[in-house]
A = this chain, B = another copy of it.
């Protein structure tokens, strides 16, 4: 198909498609004439994936390029792909802004940093999780524990064990869904989608369940 048809099918404008082509996110079409090329279903599919990563999940163009490169290169090795994706993708911290100039460290921040890293290691050991050294996700867990403590909550890795057990079951659900996913490219794409796109929905489901159970426990009606 021509670029106009590709634009119609994917819902992405022609200037944006040209930008993705120049930027290497979308592979070039098959040249048919000077300044003309032919595109196929793979291009439609790839454009929808790019649109999801950038438009829905708000990834940067460069993070998206890393994810797509991982999908292309590692499609025969789902574990390696998942490892690359898990390592390359920014873990959600809600765009933690840079520290304001002049803000001092809280009194206990220095002391806490070492403790929480050990805490996360203890949690992983308790769960029997073997991961790469210092994955970005572990840093996020450590920061959360640090914040909880700075706020005076009595919170350590043991508090997170029941949540880690739920996360363990969620991860097994995720991987179950890769088994049925057809060819290696589809399996690789599905791994990315399940990891990245499902995250907001998982948090939203918890919010819905909180509202329901909160009404049951604390409601006056």
Contact = CB atoms under 8 A, between A and B. Distances in A.
B197 A202 contact: no
Contact residue range for chain A?
35 or more
Nearest to A101: B13
B208 A195 contact: no
Number of copies: 2
A213 B107 contact: no
14 contacts: A10-B106, A11-B109, A13-B103, A55-B97, A55-B99, A58-B96, A59-B94, A78-B214, A131-B212, A140-B201, A144-B204, A153-B190, A163-B201, A166-B166
Interface of A: 7-13, 15-16, 45, 48-49, 52, 54-59, 77-79, 82-83, 86, 91-97, 99-107, 109, 124, 127-132, 135, 137-138, 140-141, 143-145, 147-148, 150-153, 159-160, 162-164, 166-175, 177, 189-190, 193, 195, 197-215, 217-220
